[in-house]
Structures are given as structure tokens and as C-alpha cells.
């Protein structure tokens, strides 16, 4: 890699996005870059890691799906996020490996998706459109690509006919540039291409269980059962691609797909996530034949070939004198790609009934469910199914099981696993049992409103009933003619009636914390399910982050904390290894990476043993938090020695978390003064506030300047940025916008040690409360009526907090009387503040009359 400083570009300059699913593919594309560009700061809501660079003279953004995530919805989410961050992307390439469908293709060949005649280029094979004879109906996915893409593909085809492909040349160049990766990406003699007959099943031997390196694939398979083919070189095919959410390892299924779907050359897993009209080209290197002999040996080479072809294609695009600037951006074309979800397989085959079901709602959680199952590694989550809580849940009727835990790593997988377990357990039951699944997604809040969520339950319950419910037909007829939508009441009415037809219904809801909060959607949804439980045999399984508003609603229910095992922590660290700065130039050896994982896991586990009673409730969050806090500082270290020293210093045992937080605070103090000052103020507010503050409240509080009589709107800071300066100790809750400490142990730590880090900040809080309340904006005294008061409160978000708590803070900080007096003397402002204080009580007792009777002022001091 060149040692020059990388070029810096702006987001506007990137016109091509490349999506890959595996790290092998990510690296393959990276080594094909002409050069790499400097990183660009992306919004904090965007958690993907991008590689930027130029390829054949075009600027490209490369993104890899998070480790372990494959399939259509992961791809849809990645493309949607990438094109939001890079809004000028005009074309997305899906580049990587896939299974080939013989006989046309061979291992190492590359397939490019091209529409031909009536064939749309990409076909989704696992949509629930199996006809009676078990055949698949062709369901085209991607429309014809726009003209500029077709022009470039034509140019590429012509070039291949005349001169052949440049793939070997590009792979050779990459090899010279990165000799270390040669073994992985180039074709060695050890790569053997056996195509076994469809009826010959793979013979397992011990080598299969180990990593593929060093073991001969199909060692025990009978080579006389292979199909004899004359040798030939690499070929590029232009044609049809099948996509689906499952990996195919079955030659019979593969052959059937070919028979049913016609000319398809390869089967992959991500293209289904692209929306119909998303300008997109799928480029797949063939690494296996979708049969039981499938292994990983060809993956590296196939990935390199696909990446090389992407480079060649971009070369043709560049040369075809297309003005990319004039093309519409993917972002504008796809709008909300999340709306595109494939339909869950339904027992209802009749077209009319299916139409009615789709009319109920187009929300569909099938793809999320199967994606989550893919994420599951063997044996994870067995503890949940084996727990007495879960056994009780399955055995006894009308029970609830609530599973709070940390976001991300485990909840969705466990929820999907629970669905699968319930479905398979009751599949052959004589009784009518239904498992309905809802997966909340904060990125899709616009579509996941109360009526849609309830409608989704109704749809699943209706679809699984032996006879299609008549009342749904009636509801449809009533609304369809007039073009109206059923009300929440209509939906719950039907839901109650149809749930009554089952002997038992399981409702599994994943990620309640991601359900929209506005309009009380989240709590109403939970209450509706609980209402249903009160009258029907409904069992409710829910996962969520640990949010007080939610846990309160499950107070009476059995609760099972989802916790992380050492393996989970290792997986987390594994994923983050690529962030190590030291790895770029010096190449962190595998031993060191192993050391990092082992040491951090050891420290985190040590905590768990020592602190069992303390951590019992939040082990899951806590393990990840500690692992994160220990890993974060290593990222920026530029010397191996520094990393080793830091690892050696990690404390175990009782002091571990104190030490971890202390280490964070030391790094915290090392940031530039400006950042530290703001962050100290924010931390103090979060630690000392009498109730959790929202982003808006904090913005106003932090904008207050000493000795002023008005808030300067230009002094309002970015709270998101300040939160990022707090190095992971503070987070913004996605749903409620509340800013809070990541864990109760952080609160506990600061209550003991805050004087050490930010002395006198209690004083500052008291001062800003008083300054804020004394602003000229309130010099007209109390608001004359409710509407005016609400308007005032909206315009001055910190008013309510300051009104209610200035007295407490003044006392706690021993604010001098002179300071307090200067405020008390401003009579109108004082009265305005008292109004705020009373309003608070007013909401607590929800009795407006009583307050207006009481009138008068109360002295908070």
C-alpha cells in the first residue's frame, strides 16, 4: 500500500457503491482499488464501516455486511444506510461469491446479472409461490437496469469477445501489490474442481469439521462419481441469477431450481434485498456447486475474480462516456428500501385470500426471522430453551415471558430461535396453535405504527387458520369499496375473535424498545396484547432493551435476563479487530489478536465471578460494556508494545470496573480542552439531574451563558457530538431521545468520584437553572392559559426542569444567598417558575382543577 497521505474526498464525490457480504470479499475488492482514500466522518446513526477509494478511475464506497449477517434484509439495510450517507451514489454493485449451477459454469468463473428477453436477470427462488406440483413460479425481482448500466455491460461483453477478460491481469497486479494475500486470492494447484453427480452425496470425514486450511476437500468422496469435463480456462457469463434467504447444499434442489426457473447460472443471497428499480449489477464468482460437497476452498479465488470483474466493468462504465452526474441517485430511486420485504410463506394459496391478507398490512417479518436464524451459531441460546422460565412459559397457558437485554448481539437471534422452537414443537399438534411474530425496527418506524403492528398479528392469525375467516372478508369488502382503512378498534375486534378460534396463540415480539414511542404506540401495543391475553389463550414472549418505561409494563411477569457468554464477547471482539490502527501498517500478528481476546475475556469473566450478586441483573450489558471499554483505547495505539502493556495492566477482580472507568476518564481528560469542558458539563447534568434529560433539554441547558438575560440560539451545541466525547459512558436512547449513562455501575462510580473529575459542577448546574429562569423571555410572568403555557414550555425545553429543580440544586451546591436573591428579586420570572413547578405536580396528580383552585405561589426553597 502506498505510504502517501490518502486523498480526501467529500461524500458528494462517490457515485458507485459496492456491497459485499464477507470479509474475504471485502478484502478482495479493497486490493483491486487503484488507491484508497481517507476516511470520511459519517453520521453517528450510521454504524457501517466504509472503505473509500477509486477503482478504474471512479470513486467507490465499499461496505461489508456486519459479521454474521447475510441475506436480503441485511443487504437492504446496508444499501439503504450507505445511500443515505453517500446520497450521490448512482449505482450499486453486489460483488462476491456464490454457488454455481452446472454445467455451464465452473468454479472460478464469474457471472454478471443481465436481463435477457423476458427474464429479469434476478429471480427470487424462495418466495412463497410454490404451485401444486411443488414447482416454483418465476418471480422477477429487479427491473431492467437503466440504460447507462446496459451500455456499460454491452461494452464489457464486446471487449470480452474481442480481447478476452482482464480478470487474470487484475488478479496478478493485486498479487504483486499484496504478496501476503497471494495464497488466499490466486488460483493455486491445490484448488481442484470436482463436480459430483447430483445423486452422489458428500462423504464426511474428520477434515470437514476443521477449518478448510490444510485439509483436502472431499477427501473421502469417490472421484469416479464426478462428471468428466474437458479442462478450460476462466469464463465470464452474462445471464440469470437466483436469489434467496437460504444457502443451498442440495444438488437435487439445485437441479430442480434450474428446471423451474430456466436459465439461471448461480444462486446467491443478497440481491433479493435490492428494490425493484434500484440500479444494481450483481457480480458473482463461483466457489461451489450448491451441493453437499460445498466447502470454502475456492472462496478466496472466486472473490478475487469477482472483484477483478467489478474493476473491469467500472472501466467500461468510465469509458462509455456516461455522465454519471446526470443519473438519478439510488437514494432518490429507492426511497425507503425497508418497505421492500418479501412475503412470508402462507398456508393460504388462493389468490383472493392472499390479496385480502396483503391488504390487511404489507408488514412482513419473514425475512427478518430467517436472517436472524442464519446469525445463530450452533449451541448459542440453548440455555434459554433449557431454562425453567422458558419451560414454564411453554407448559402453562396464558403466560408471559419478558427477556430484557443489550441491543444488537443476541436478542433478535434468540427471539427467532424461540419462534422456530415453538413452531416445530407444535407443528404436528392436533390442536390449533398459532405462532405470530413481530419484529420492531426503529429504522422502519414510519410503517410500524400501532394499527400496522396489530394488523400484522391479525394477518398471521388469519393466514394460519384452517378456514379463511369470513369476518376478514367482510371487513375487506366494507373498506375496499370505499378505499378506507380499518380502525384500531376494528382490528382488535377481529383479533379477539380470531384468537378465540385457536386453542393457543403465541405472540413473539422482538425489540419492543424499537417500537415507536410517539402517540403512545409502544405502550398501547403492549397493552393491547395484554388485553388479548386477559380474554384469550395467548402467550406473550417479548425481548427489549432494559428501558424503565417498558420493564414497568412487565413488572408482574416472569423475566429472564438475556446475558452474554464468553463466546459472545469473543465474537464482539473479533468483529472489532479490524479497527486496530496498528494492524494497518505494522500488521498485528494473529497471536496478539488472540492475546487481546483472551485477556479481555478473562478480565470480563473475572468480574462476573467476583461480582456475581452485584452483576446478576445486568451481566449481559455489563460484559459488553467492559469489553468495549477495554478494547476502545487499544484501537488508537500505534505500537504493539503499548497494546501489550495496556493488556497487562487490566485489572481483574473487585476493582475491575472502577479501573475500567478510571481508564476511560484518563483518556477523556486527554481530549482537547474545548471538548472536555462541554463533555464535563453534560456528564455532570446526566449524573446529577433529578430526572433523565432529553437531547432538547440538554441543548438548552448547555447553551446558557453566565450573566446573560437571554438564550443565544447560536450557542446551542450539538449534543450528539458532546455525547461522542464521553467515550461510551453516555448514550442517547434512540426511541425517547433521553441521554443517559450506559450502565448503573457508571452512575455508582461517579456518585463516589465526581469531585475528582469535575469539582464545582454542582454549582454550575444551580447557576444555569437560575440564569435560565431569570431570562427576559419570562419577564411577562406566568402564562395566562394552558395553551400559552404549553407553547412557552415547547419553546423553552429546559424550563420545566429548571422550575422544578433549581431549589434542590441551589441547596445542594450551597449557592450563595446573593446569587439566589438576584433571581428571587425578579418577581415575574419567579412567578413563571412557580407555575412550572405547579404544573409538574399537576401532571403527577392529573387534576387540573385542584391546581387552579390552589393558585398562589409556592416557595421551592
DSSP single-letter state for residue 512: G
Nearest distance in Å: CB 159, Zn ion: 37
User: Under a CB-based contact definition with an 8 Å cutoff, are residues 429 and 382 in contact?
Assistant: no
DSSP character at residue 640:
H
Q: Select 205 or 795, whichever has its Cβ closest to Zn ion.
A: 205
Q: Do 657 and 598 touch, CB atoms closer than 8 A? A: no
| Residue 121, Ramachandran bin (φ over 0: left; ψ between -120 and 50: alpha; else beta) | left
Binding mask 594-613 for Zn ion (x = CB under 5 A): --------------------
Least separation, in Å, of the C-beta of 199 and Zn ion?
13
Per the CB < 8 A criterion, the answer to whether 603 and 654 are in contact is no
Q: At which residue does the C-alpha cell 382543577 appear?
A: 849
Q: Work out the widest C-alpha separation in the chain, in whole angstroms.
A: 99
Rounded least distance, CB 197 to Zn ion, Å: 11
CA distances from 831 to 804, 811, 856 (A): 12, 20, 9
| Nearer residue to Zn ion within complex by CB, 218 or 304 | 218
Among residues 202 and 536, whose Cβ is nearest to Zn ion? 202
Query: 185 near 304, Cβ under 8 Å?
Result: yes
The interface mask with Zn ion, positions 379-398, x = CB under 5 A, is --------------------
Q: What's the CA gap between 284 and 310, in Å, rounded?
A: 10
Write down the least CB distance from residue 489 to Zn ion, Å.
59
Stretch that binds Zn ion, among 270-278, 286-294, 578-586, 815-823 (CB under 5 A): 286-294
Please tell me what DSSP assigns to residue 506: E
Residue in the block written with cell 486496530: 580
Q: Which is nearer to Zn ion, 75 or 218 (CB)?
A: 218
Closer residue to Zn ion (CB): 223 or 326? 223
Q: CB-wise, 203 or 790, nearer to Zn ion?
A: 203
Q: Which is nearer to Zn ion, 68 or 207 (CB)?
A: 207
> Can you tell me the distance from the alpha carbon of 45 to that of 42, in angstroms, rounded to the nearest whole number?
8
Residue 217 or 407: which CB sits closer to Zn ion?
A: 217
Do the Cβ atoms of 108 and 306 come closer than 8 Å?
no
Minimum separation from the CB atom of position 218 to Zn ion (A): 3
Question: Per the structure block, which three cell numbers stand in for 507?
Answer: 405472540
CB of 246 to Zn ion, least distance (A): 20
Q: How far is the CB of 102 from Zn ion (least distance, A)?
A: 15
The three grid cell numbers given for residue 477, joined into one nine-digit string:
369488502
Nearer Cβ to Zn ion (221/768): 221
Least distance in angstroms from the C-beta of 210 to Zn ion: 15
State the number of binding residues for Zn ion (CB under 5 A). Answer: 4
**Which CB contacts under 8 angstroms, 24+ apart, belong to 167-170?**
167/110, 167/234, 167/236, 167/305, 167/308, 167/309, 167/312, 168/234, 170/32, 170/308, 170/311, 170/312
Give counts: helices (H), strands (E), the chain. Answer: 35, 17
State which residue, 218 or 741, has the beta carbon closest to Zn ion. 218
Contact stretch for Zn ion (CB under 5 A) within 130-138, 212-220, 489-497, 820-828? 212-220
The smaller minimum CB distance to Zn ion, of residues 202 and 368, is found at 202
Q: In the complex, what is the shortest distance from the CB of residue 250 to Zn ion, in angstroms, rounded to a whole number?
A: 13
Q: How far is the CB of 200 from Zn ion (least distance, A)?
A: 8
| Nearer CB in complex with Zn ion: 294/680 | 294
Are 115 and 136 spatial neighbours (Cβ–Cβ below 8 Å)? no
**For Zn ion, the closer CB: 46 or 208:** 208
Compute the least distance from the CB of residue 293 to Zn ion, in Å: 3
Nearer residue to Zn ion within complex by CB, 213 or 518 = 213
Residue 294 found at the interface with Zn ion (CB under 5 A): no
Region of 12-20, 287-295, 585-593, 784-792 interacting with Zn ion (CB under 5 A): 287-295
Closest by CA to 754, choosing from 828, 661, 832, is: 661
Instruction: Point out which span in 35-43, 248-256, 293-301, 619-627 binds Zn ion (CB under 5 A).
Output: 293-301
User: In the bound complex, what is the minimum distance in angstroms from residue 248's beta carbon to Zn ion?
Assistant: 15
Cβ-based nearer residue to Zn ion, 196 or 823: 196
Backbone angles phi, psi at 730, to 5 degrees: -125, 145
Query: Judging by beta carbons within 10 Å of its beta carbon (0-12, 13-18, 19+), is residue 514 exposed, middle or buried?
Result: buried
C-alpha cell at 586: 505494522
In sequence order, the β-bridge partners of residue 119 are 116
Tell me whether residue 200 or residue 575 sits nearer to Zn ion (CB atom): 200
Task: Enumerate residues 6+ apart whose C-beta is below 8 A from 603.
Answer: 626, 630, 650, 651, 652, 656
Q: Please state the closest distance from residue 202 (CB atom) to Zn ion, in A.
A: 4
Q: b or e along 557-570 (b: 16 or more beta carbons within 10 Å of the residue's beta carbon)?
A: ebebbbbbbeebbb
Nearest residue (CB) to Zn ion, 251 versus 664: 251
Cβ contact 28:102 at 8 Å: no
Which of the stretches 112-120, 292-300, 347-355, 548-556 binds Zn ion when contact is defined by CB under 5 A? 292-300
Q: Are 803 and 836 in contact (CB under 8 A)?
A: yes
**Candidates 130-138, 215-223, 415-423, 746-754 — which segment interacts with Zn ion by CB under 5 A?**
215-223
Ramachandran region of residue 402, left (φ > 0), alpha (ψ -120 to 50) or beta? beta
Least Cβ distance, residue 198 to Zn ion (angstroms): 13
User: Nearest distance from residue 306's CB to Zn ion, in Å?
Assistant: 24
CA-wise closest residue to 170 among 309, 300, 298: 309
The minimum distance between CB 224 and Zn ion, in angstroms, equals 13
Residues 102, 289 contacting (CB under 8 angstroms)? yes
Binding mask 178-207 for Zn ion (x = CB under 5 A): ------------------------x-----
d(CA 476, CA 569): 49
Site for Zn ion in 809-838 (CB under 5 A): none
Nearest to 764 by CA among 805, 801, 809: 809
Q: Least separation, in Å, of the C-beta of 648 and Zn ion?
A: 47
Reading across the β-sheet that carries 504-510, which strands appear in turn?
400-404, 538-544, 504-510, 433-439
Strands 280-288 and 110-113: antiparallel
Q: Where in 217-236 is the site for Zn ion (CB under 5 A)?
A: 218, 221
Distance of CA 761 to the CA centre of its chain: 37
Identify whether the C-beta of residue 344 lies closer than 8 Å to the C-beta of residue 365. yes
Q: Does 293 bind Zn ion (CB under 5 A)?
A: yes
Output 206 or 844, the one with its CB closest to Zn ion: 206
Instruction: Give the interface segment with Zn ion, choosing from 63-71, 210-218, 282-290, 596-604 (CB under 5 A).
Output: 210-218
Is there binding between residue 251 and Zn ion (CB under 5 A)?
Answer: no
State in angstroms the smallest separation of the CB of 223 from Zn ion.
9
**Site of interaction with Zn ion (CB under 5 A):** 202, 218, 221, 293
Amino acid at each position: 500500500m502506498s505510504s502517501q497521505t490518502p486523498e480526501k474526498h467529500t461524500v458528494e464525490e462517490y457515485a458507485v457503491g459496492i456491497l459485499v457480504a464477507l470479509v474475504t470479499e471485502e478484502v478482495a475488492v479493497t486490493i483491486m482499488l487503484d488507491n484508497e482514500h481517507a476516511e470520511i466522518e459519517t453520521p453517528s446513526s450510521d454504524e457501517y464501516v466504509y472503505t473509500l477509494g477509486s477503482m478504474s478511475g471512479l470513486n467507490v464506497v465499499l461496505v461489508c455486511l456486519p459479521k454474521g449477517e447475510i441475506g436480503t434484509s441485511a443487504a437492504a439495510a446496508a444499501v439503504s444506510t450507505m445511500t443515505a450517507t453517500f446520497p450521490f451514489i448512482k449505482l450499486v454493485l453486489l460483488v462476491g461469491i456464490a454457488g454455481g449451477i452446472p454445467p455451464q459454469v465452473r468454479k472460478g468463473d464469474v457471472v454478471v446479472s443481465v436481463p435477457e428477453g423476458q427474464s429479469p436477470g434476478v429471480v427470487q427462488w424462495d418466495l412463497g409461490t410454490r404451485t401444486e406440483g411443488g414447482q416454483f413460479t418465476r418471480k422477477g425481482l429487479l427491473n431492467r437496469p437503466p440504460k447507462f448500466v446496459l451500455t456499460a455491460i454491452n461494452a464489457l461483453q464486446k471487449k470480452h469477445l474481442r480481447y478476452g477478460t482482464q480478470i487474470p491481469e487484475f488478479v496478478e497486479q493485486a498479487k504483486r501489490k499484496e504478496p501476503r494475500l497471494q495464497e488466499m486470492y490466486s488460483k493455486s494447484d491445490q484448488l481442484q474442481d470436482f463436480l459430483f453427480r447430483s445423486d452422489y452425496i458428500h462423504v464426511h470425514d474428520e477434515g470437514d469439521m476443521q477449518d478448510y486450511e490444510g485439509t483436502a476437500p472431499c477427501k473421502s468422496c469417490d472421484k469416479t462419481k464426478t462428471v468428466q469435463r474437458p479442462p478450460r480456462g476462466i469464463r465470464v457469463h452474462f445471464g440469470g441469477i437466483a436469489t434467496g434467504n437460504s444457502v443451498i447444499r442440495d444438488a437435487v434442489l439445485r437441479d430442480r431450481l434450474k428446471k423451474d426457473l430456466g436459465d439461471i447460472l448461480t444462486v446467491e443471497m443478497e440481491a433479493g434485498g435490492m428494490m425493484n428499480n434500484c440500479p444494481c449489477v450483481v457480480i458473482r464468482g463461483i466457489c461451489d456447486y450448491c451441493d453437499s460437497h460445498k466447502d470454502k476452498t475456492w472462496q478466496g479465488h472466486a472473490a478475487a475474480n469477482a472483484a477483478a470483474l467489478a474493476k473491469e466493468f467500472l472501466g467500461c462504465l468510465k469509458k462509455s462516456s456516461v455522465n454519471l452526474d446526470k443519473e438519478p441517485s439510488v437514494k432518490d430511486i429507492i426511497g425507503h428500501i425497508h418497505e421492500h420485504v418479501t412475503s412470508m410463506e402462507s398456508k393460504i394459496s388462493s389468490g383472493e385470500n392472499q390479496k385480502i391478507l396483503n391488504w390487511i398490512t404489507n408488514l412482513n417479518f419473514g425475512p427478518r426471522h430467517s436472517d436472524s436464524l442464519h446469525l445463530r451459531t450452533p449451541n448459542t441460546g440453548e440455555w434459554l430453551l433449557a431454562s425453567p422460565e422458558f419451560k414454564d412459559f411453554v407448559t402453562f397457558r396464558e403466560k408471559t415471558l419478558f427477556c430484557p437485554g443489550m441491543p444488537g448481539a443476541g436478542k433478535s437471534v434468540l427471539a427467532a430461535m424461540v419462534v422456530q422452537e415453538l413452531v416445530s414443537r407444535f407443528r404436528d399438534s392436533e390442536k390449533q396453535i398459532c405462532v405470530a411474530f413481530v419484529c420492531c425496527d426503529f429504522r422502519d418506524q414510519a410503517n410500524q405504527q400501532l394499527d400496522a403492528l396489530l394488523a400484522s398479528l391479525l394477518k398471521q392469525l388469519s393466514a394460519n387458520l384452517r378456514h379463511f375467516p369470513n369476518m376478514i372478508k367482510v371487513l375487506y369488502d366494507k373498506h375496499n369499496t370505499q378505499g378506507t382503512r380499518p380502525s384500531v378498534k376494528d382490528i382488535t375486534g377481529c383479533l379477539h375473535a380470531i384468537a378465540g378460534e385457536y386453542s393457543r396463540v403465541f405472540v413473539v415480539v422482538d425489540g419492543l424498545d424499537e417500537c415507536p414511542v410517539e402517540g403512545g404506540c409502544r405502550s398501547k401495543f403492549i397493552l393491547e396484547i395484554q388485553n388479548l391475553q386477559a380474554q384469550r389463550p395467548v402467550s406473550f414472549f417479548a425481548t427489549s432493551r432494559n428501558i424503565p418505561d417498558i420493564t414497568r409494563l412487565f413488572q408482574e411477569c416472569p423475566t429472564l435476563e438475556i446475558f452474554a457468554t464468553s463466546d459472545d464477547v469473543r465474537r464482539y471482539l473479533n468483529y472489532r479487530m479490524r479497527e486496530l490502527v496498528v494492524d494497518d501498517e505494522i500488521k498485528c500478528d494473529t497471536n496478539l489478536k488472540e492475546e487481546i481476546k483472551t485477556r479481555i475475556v478473562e478480565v470480563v469473566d473475572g468480574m462476573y465471578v467476583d461480582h456475581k450478586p452485584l452483576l446478576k441483573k445486568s451481566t449481559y450489558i455489563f460484559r459488553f460494556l467492559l469489553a468495549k471499554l477495554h478494547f476502545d483505547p487499544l484501537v488508537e495505539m500505534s505500537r504493539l508494545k503499548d497494546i501489550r502493556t495496556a493488556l497487562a495492566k487490566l485489572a481483574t477482580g473487585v476493582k475491575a470496573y472502577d479501573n475500567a472507568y478510571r481508564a476511560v476518564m484518563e483518556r477523556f481528560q486527554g481530549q482537547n480542552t474545548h471538548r472536555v469542558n462541554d463533555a464535563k458539563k453534560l456528564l455532570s447534568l446526566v449524573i446529577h439531574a433529578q430526572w433523565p434529560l432529553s437531547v432538547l433539554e440538554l441543548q438548552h441547558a448547555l447553551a446558557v451563558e453566565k450573566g446573560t438575560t437571554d438564550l443565544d440560539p447560536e450557542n446551542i451545541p450539538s449534543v450528539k457530538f458532546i455525547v461522542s466525547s464521553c467515550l461510551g459512558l453516555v448514550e442517547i436512547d434512540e426511541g425517547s431521545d433521553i441521554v443517559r449513562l450506559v450502565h448503573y455501575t457508571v452512575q455508582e462510580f461517579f456518585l463516589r468520584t465526581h469531585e475528582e473529575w469535575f469539582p464545582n459542577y454542582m454549582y454550575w448546574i444551580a447557576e444555569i437553572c437560575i440564569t435560565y429562569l431569570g431570562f427576559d423571555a419570562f419577564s411577562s410572568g406566568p402564562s395566562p392559559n394552558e395553551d400559552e403555557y404549553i407553547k412557552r414550555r415547547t419553546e423553552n425545553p429546559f424550563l420545566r426542569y429548571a422550575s422544578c429543580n433549581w431549589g434542590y440544586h441551589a441547596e445542594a451546591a450551597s449557592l450563595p444567598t446573593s446569587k439566589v436573591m438576584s433571581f428571587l428579586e425578579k418577581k415575574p420570572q419567579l412567578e413563571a417558575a412557580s407555575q412550572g413547578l405547579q404544573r409538574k405536580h399537576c401532571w403527577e396528580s392529573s387534576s387540573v382543577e385542584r391546581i387552579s383552585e390552589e393558585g398562589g405561589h409556592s416557595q421551592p426553597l
